[in-house]
Amino acid sequence: MKKYKFILSGGGTGGHIYPAIAIANELKLRFTDAEILFVGAQDKMEMQKVPQAGYKIEGLRIAGLQRKITFQNLLFPFKLLSSLWKSRKIIKNFQPDAVIGTGGFASGPLLQVANSCNIPTVIQEQNSYPGITNKLLSKKANAICVAYENLERFFPKEKIVYTGNPVRQDLLDINSKRNEGVTYFKLDADKKTLLVLGGSLGARRVNQLIEKELDFLLANDIQVIWQCGKLYFEEFQIYNKRVNVQVVAFIDRMDLIYAVADFVISRAGASSVSELCLVGKPTIFIPSPNVAEDHQTKNAKAIVDKNGAILLKEIDLEEKFETTFSNLISNENLQKELSLNIKKLAKPNATKDIVEEIIKLIQ
């Protein structure tokens, strides 16, 4: 039996890394003796997260273009050429059967080289509005696995497969884990729990909102688990002194925290949105306006337009947050409606379906 080799590339944020790791894990389940190599951007979080997951990774000297004129932008052409050269060397030495890109700076040069070498490539696009890298790569990719409908205006229609985003498989059965979660996080089982998610690095505006509204939240007899991100932990950890407040940089047991959460306030990164569809909790999305193409707002709107969540823009937080949150926690019918509708959008078999598409290309 042939021993398959796969290269996966994606990074910069957890939203690109964790889907790539999920796909790698599923490939390992299908082909136990497969060789898997990751390619990421040097100095980005994938260089730590991927080895922690048990995989080898090579780094490219690549970074994205800044929105304003900077010295880094002047270096971009040189970094791109260097990354293309190293990608060619990696592919020549490793000789993969397929290359899978989940987004992020490093996937561009790698998939470009793979395409030029006629190696099958698969793009996994997490967002409802694709970035420029995946739009360019899509012209030569063999398959494009997407998480949202109606992406034909960005990608060749015949290549699109609607699979959903890979999600942690331990989220498939959270209902049985509530008691374990209450114990693990030392919560009051009789209080409602609010989970605040700012993404792996954190979200300054969301953190500022929770700081300002903490008294209001606690006055509603709610306990708060506030994931503020590693960039902001030093600043906000002082609120751990408050009763019924836990401030953490990172949550290592997402299955247990989702099991105990009654309400969620979250950014609208693609991975977070996909997880929240799966767990079906009443959610207020506060999209980051600072990401490329404002794709977080588009991700959130895809859910909100089907009455599966509430959307609050950053510019409206001062005026609308307290009213919106009060309405949510006091209206059980609204909670049930949002939970039911967001769950209809879940794609629990996404990882398996993506791997099926890869298998079609190599067998």
Neighbours of 128 (CB within 10 A): 25
Q: What is the pLDDT of residue 79?
A: 60
Q: What is the pLDDT of residue 72?
A: 53
Q: Reduce the DSSP state of residue 46 to 3 states and report it.
A: helix
CA distance 209 to 144: 37
Split the chain (363 residues) into runs of 10 and give each run's mean pLDDT. Answer: 90 80 95 94 84 91 54 55 81 96 85 94 93 87 94 95 91 93 97 92 91 97 96 95 96 95 96 94 95 87 96 96 98 98 95 97 93
SS3 9: strand
Helical residues (DSSP H) of 240-285, grouped into ranges: 254-260, 270-279
pLDDT, residue 80, reads 66
β-bridge partners, 142: none
Query: Whats the size of the chain, residue-wise?
Result: 363
Predicted pLDDT at 104: 77
Are 261 and 224 in contact by the 8 Å Cβ rule? The answer is no
Mapped onto helix, strand or coil, the DSSP state of residue 251 is: coil
Residue 316 confidence (pLDDT) = 97
Taking Cα atoms as reference points, which of 114, 133, 117 lies closest to residue 125?
133
